[in-house]
Structure 1
Amino acid sequence: MASPIDPDIANRQPPAEVTLTEAFWYWLQLGCISFGGPAGQIALMHTDLVEKKRWISEKRFLHALNYCMILPGPEATQLAVYIGWLMHRTRGGILAGALFVLPSLLLLILLSWIYLAFGNQPIVAGILYGIKPAVVAIVLAAAYRIGSRTLKNHWLRGIAVLAFAAIALLHLPFPLIVLGAGIAGWIGGRFLPEKFDVGGTHAQAKSSYGAALLDDTTPTPAHAHFSLARLALVGGIGLVAGAATWLAIAALFGGSSTAAQLGWFFTKAAMLTFGGAYAVLPYVYQGAVDHYHWLTAAQMIDGLALGETTPGPLIMIVAFVGFVGGWSKEIFGATHLLAGGVLGAVVATWFTFLPSFIFIFAGGPLVESTRDNIRLTAPLTAISAAVVGVIVSLAVFFAEQVFHLERTLAQWDWIAMGITLAACIALFRFKAGTIKLIIACAIAGLMVSFFA
């Protein structure tokens, strides 16, 4: 039975129009405080933009989120770009995305330099020893939080379980899993539409928050109407921007240089991987560690730990990978390691995020035109369910690395397991914040290293 609608909330008028200046300060604030990975960032945006500020309705928010979750790249960043674009056209989308990423990039450059310059110090090693088990718990919590929003019935939960088995046991490529889930959703939308409609209704949204500036019934803004000509223009601009940047790097450093390799690799990572940050990391690990040898497996896990301590999208670990690659391969020579690291971080970030902006600016109008078509939204819902299974598989992958599960039972890291267990209790039982949890686990790591 639906909850009764509070008359005061039901009669609440939409907020006033939001200026670009107001949006600037909000997106900058979000970029500085958005800890907790994509799940935490999406929850924060929902709290701010749907519940408190009421810039966008819940149903519209969830529809955009489902689209972003099937795109290659970081779904939280793409969602910010989407909402910024919907409210203030292209400049609003660029503003939202850039401010969402920039604070994290600057902070990760600093942390990467400290890690490479002083990482062999016992205090740094102890901090990382405590943070890495916390990462396992944080990824599990992310899966739970996304799953609690997405897996509303047994059909969707079944898709998540099958996706986990497909990637963790059968080692199927994620694009194939996305395709299978999309087909399942398309079939479900035709024959079981009620099982694949998980978005909030207009009445439900109003019962909790009141009318939004971009409400369910608000007409689509003029710039968000779909046209093939606009799709081709935006796609062409994106291709030119990416190609021109790579050609400039190749002209300066050579087509086979580390800088050019970073650009090409992260273009592929951005274009060929799906499911956001947690799904893209295994691909980045395989390429950066096994193929190009920009960093070691241990450094990759350390980079993820550092990424969890910074605001912004978790996929910003690519900045760490680029920094270590530029440093270790000495892009500017042995006497300018910091400059090489900074260039590597900037190149990795640019080529990772450029496609995300283009996907939103080009595809956003198409998404707006399908908001009420269950046969088109059902595949998105099914793919979102599959992503939950993939995130759980990533937690298993990290656990194997952190706990040394490839070794004999006696060599497993039981202390790290204990830290992860305590972190899970803190997250699931006591709803601890990510930053407080990381600080506590870092202190635990220091204590272990001190008494070891």
Structure 2
Amino acid sequence: MAPQQGTDRPTYTLWQMVAYFLRLGTLGFGGPVALAGYMHRDLVERRGWITDGDYKEGLALAQLAPGPLAAQLAIYLGYVHYRIRGATLVGLAFVLPSFLMVLGLGWAYVRFGGLTWMQSVFYGVGAAVIGIIAISAYKLTTKSVGRDKLLWAIYLTLAAVTVITESEIAWLFLAAGVVVWFWRAPPKWLRQSGANALAATQMPAASGLFSTLDWPLLSQLGVFFAKAGAFVFGSGLAIVPFLYGGVVTEYHWLNEKQFVDAVAVAMITPGPVVITVGFIGYLVAGLPGACVAALATFLPCYLFTILPAPYFKKYGKLPAILAFVDGVTAAAIGAITGAVIVLAKRSIVDGPTLLLALVTVALLLKFKKLPEPVIISGAAVIGLAVYPMLHH
């Protein structure tokens, strides 16, 4: 099997990897589910830069550690061959394009008062995105769960739990890993654990720039978003209820309409969904607020990825760890599939959106190399045309 290659000479340069993630951050629509699927398709299947074993390790670590899944998976894949330098540059390349986009949208939102056109765009794009992520989830399922009955049981359980609770329950991923480990490679002695390096690392909030800034507000933003990045597990969407509780209910930084618009901005921009924090930060405290919110959210996820990574690489080939990773991967993909259903309930609201989602699935099944941005652009145009007719 190929997983050993993670320590061999890479078949690509660091700058090729950075360029790939810059492009994915600029054009990768569909949220964490789709982004994880694109990474597997492009880096494992098509280019062969990353082995399936290394990808699975990255996905498992991203699920176990708190923070946004897609960003952590990207950081880990950057780490595989180029260690800290690779992880850092890939992480920046992946997050920066969508951060700059939400800054631009934040400026337009404040300048021109609300984004009415956005509802029309999201009406179309949201439905097409469901089709895209459904295909991604299907491919991940067939590739990683295969025909293993135990993995199928875990997968279906996590999918059901995600649909019912509309959230991702972290301890279930751990439990899934332990069940498969004990089933496939029961420990000879009770305590033979390689690396639980997911230590609770205390996050210092990023400290500062210029004396003209509103320090009390910025430090409040920093602490709040560091908590969001450090304690929310799973996909970027898992962070939305946490943000709502703090941003709208507790601190009253935004009203409900502004918050819904912020989530819509994250959904219609490519890259990680969590970048909605940049938009929220901008509305609360301008450019400094956006920078503090984004840095405070992504710094914990960066540290939670690079600190355990050496242990994952060192002990990742032990049968017990491989079994554990398989269990966590099956749980992760089950949760991802459940998330597709949860999102579909919000995005597919009538006949036209259902039709758009189904047409997207049909197009992606028929034309294997059809670029997602083409579908997204078409869906946006349809949304702009259809939504005003239905809602006026």
- Tell whether the structures are fold-level matches, with TM greater than 0.5: yes
For structure 2, the 5+ residue unaligned runs are 2-7, 188-193
Distance 1:35 1:179 in 2: 29
Contact 1:134 1:437 survives alignment (8 Å) = yes
Moved more, 286-295 or 441-450: 286-295
1:102 aligns with 2:96: yes
Contact 1:262 1:347 survives alignment (8 Å) = yes
Distance 1:438 1:299 in 2: 24
Residue correspondences, number: 376
Match of 2:206 in 1: 245
Distance 1:252 1:120 in 2: 25
Q: Which string of whole-angstrom CA distances, capped at 9 and with x for unpartnered residues, describes residues 64-92 of structure 1?
A: 33222322223332233223334333223
Distance 2:140 2:211 in 1: 40
Residue 285 and residue 433 in structure 1: after superposition, are their counterparts in 2 closer, same or farther (change >3 A)?
A: farther
How big is the shift at 1:319? Answer: 2.0
Match of 2:183 in 1: 188
**Which among 258, 279, 282 is matched to residue 320 of structure 1?**
279
Distance 1:180 1:103 in 2: 36
1:350 aligns with 2:295: yes
Match of 1:206 in 2: none
Query: Residue type of the partner of 1:360?
Result: T
Equivalence map 1:425-440=2 (5 Å): 425-428=362-365, 430-431=367-368, 432-440=370-378
Contact 1:128 1:302 survives alignment (8 Å) = no
Contact 1:131 1:305 survives alignment (8 Å) = no
**Which among 141, 152, 155 is matched to residue 150 of structure 2?**
155
Larger radius of gyration: 1
Equivalence map 1:26-175=2 (5 Å): 26-50=20-44, 54-118=48-112, 120=114, 123-152=117-146, 153-169=148-164, 174-175=169-170
Match of 1:209 in 2: none
Distance 1:146 1:245 in 2: 36
Contact 1:119 1:125 survives alignment (8 Å) = no
1:270 aligns with 2:229: yes
Cα RMSD between the aligned structures? 3.8
Contact 1:39 1:145 survives alignment (8 Å) = no
Match of 1:219 in 2: none
Contact 1:174 1:273 survives alignment (8 Å) = no
Equivalence map 1:248-327=2 (5 Å): 253-255=214-216, 257=217, 259-295=218-254, 299-324=258-283, 326=284
Distance 2:155 2:211 in 1: 42
Helix, strand or coil at the partner of 1:169: helix
Match of 2:325 in 1: 380
Q: Which string of whole-angstrom CA distances, capped at 9 and with x for unpartnered residues, describes residues 66-121 of structure 1?
A: 22232222333223322333433322321111111111111121123334444656
Distance 1:249 1:71 in 2: 33
Contact 1:309 1:435 survives alignment (8 Å) = no
Contact 2:166 2:339 survives alignment (8 Å) = no
Equivalence map 1:367-446=2 (5 Å): 367-402=312-347, 413-428=350-365, 430-431=367-368, 432-446=370-384
Identity, in percent, stands at 31
Residue 25 and residue 385 in structure 1: after superposition, are their counterparts in 2 closer, same or farther (change >3 A)?
A: closer
Helix, strand or coil at the partner of 2:274: helix
Q: Which string of whole-angstrom CA distances, capped at 9 and with x for unpartnered residues, describes residues 256-283 of structure 1?
A: x3x3333222222222222232444443
